[in-house]
Structure 1
Amino acid sequence: MNPLILIVEDETALVTLLRYNLEKEGFRIAEARDGEEALLVAREQKPDLVLLDWMLPLLSGIEVCRQMRRMPETKGVPIIMLTARGEEGDKLRGLDSGADDYITKPFSPSELIARIRAVLRRARPATEGETLRYEDLVMDLASYRVRRKGRDVHLGPTEFRLLRHLLENQGRVFSREQLLDIVWGQDVYVEPRTVDVHIRRLRKALNGTADTDLIRTVRSAGYALDRAQ
């Protein structure tokens, strides 16, 4: 079955344009016109990806994104934010709230389609039956679950891919640029500082108050899954 895209946008003309271009590419479409409806539709229809406007009635796109990342039914759904706010601080705020990508209005339909396909490729389920481990950390790729010391660790799709790559290459240091190419893909432009945002979110999710930080920062070099000595 073709992927289902949830469009969360209150501008009728833009919704019509998005629906036309996405359906032409074979995607199925669901719609929501405000933040509260977006959360309801996301829970009920379980879309494969959400196109989320920043400025929405009732709940902002930022708050919708945060709540989706907290809900078990939607925590792993990729989110692309659409917004007229193009400043770097706004982009980082959007990513910090849990978005996987960020597109500034106005944008071309072809760029949007390319970004959607790239995010969907990165979010494909992992190989069934495979488990990755490091000390007290366990990643089950079949069930898309991460546990540390027996407790569930809730990750967004980008943090999951980032942790998977680090688990598959334990001890090896990767620069921001290498992580961008491997985790985000070479066909999507993302600023290097984005890696820092997602590493910070990953650390927050993995580390309880008494847990050792398993991600080592190597100054001027990058990051590794390797306890600091």
Structure 2
Amino acid sequence: MPKILLVEDNEMNRDMLSRRLERKGHHVLIAIDGQQGVTMAHSHEPDLILMDMSLPVLDGWSATRQLKAAPETCSIPILALTAHAMAGDHEKCVEAGCDDYDTKPVEFARLLGKIQALLGKGAST
């Protein structure tokens, strides 16, 4: 069962995404801010991280940079989830180290496809 760390400060988004992902057979861990996300990634070694970019304490860009800079977490795929859908936001997420990007509100079928693609990449490397 793939382990996904969901780093999301919005309670409704956390609840909706975690329930739907669990129904699809994923084990979901939850962090409510970027610093907690970094800490949990180190201690739980998830297969994938869904990272909101606008987070309290430590934003998603900074959390992603920290995770990608650390040898023990650098290979964990990170999928940015953001309401930022302006020109250049995708590039900003990629520059921070995100492996993929999806916009909010979440279109679950599209997100699931991206998750499966990233989990497949990790399994083959």
TM-score using structure 1 length: 0.53
Q: Match of 1:16?
A: 15
Distance 2:77 2:4 in 1: 10
Distance 2:109 2:38 in 1: 27
Q: Match of 2:66?
A: 67
Q: Give, in angstroms, the shift of residue 90 of structure 1.
A: 1.1
Distance 2:71 2:49 in 1: 16
Q: Which structure: larger Rg?
A: 1
Structure scoring higher RCO (CA < 8 A, sep ≥ 6) equals: 2
- Residue 84 of structure 1 aligns with an amino acid whose one-letter code is A
Q: Match of 2:82?
A: 83
- Residue 122 of structure 2 aligns with an amino acid whose one-letter code is A
Q: Match of 2:29?
A: 30
- What percent identity do the matched residue pairs reach? 37
Unaligned stretches of 5+ in structure 2?
none
1:157-206 Cα offsets, whole Å, 9 max, x none, are xxxxxxxxxxxxxxxxxxxxxxxxxxxxxxxxxxxxxxxxxxxxxxxxxx
Number of corresponding residues? 125
1:45-94 Cα offsets, whole Å, 9 max, x none, are 00000000010001110000000011111000000000011123111010
Secondary structure in 2 matching 1:40 = helix
Stretches of 4+ aligned residues off by more than 3 angstroms: none
Q: Give, in angstroms, the shift of residue 20 of structure 1.
A: 0.8
TM-score using structure 2 length: 0.97
Aligned CA RMSD, in angstroms, stands at 0.9
Secondary structure in 2 matching 1:110 = helix
Q: Match of 1:95?
A: 94
Q: Match of 2:54?
A: 55
Unaligned stretches of 5+ in structure 1?
127-229
Answer 1 or 2: which has greater helix percent. Answer: 2
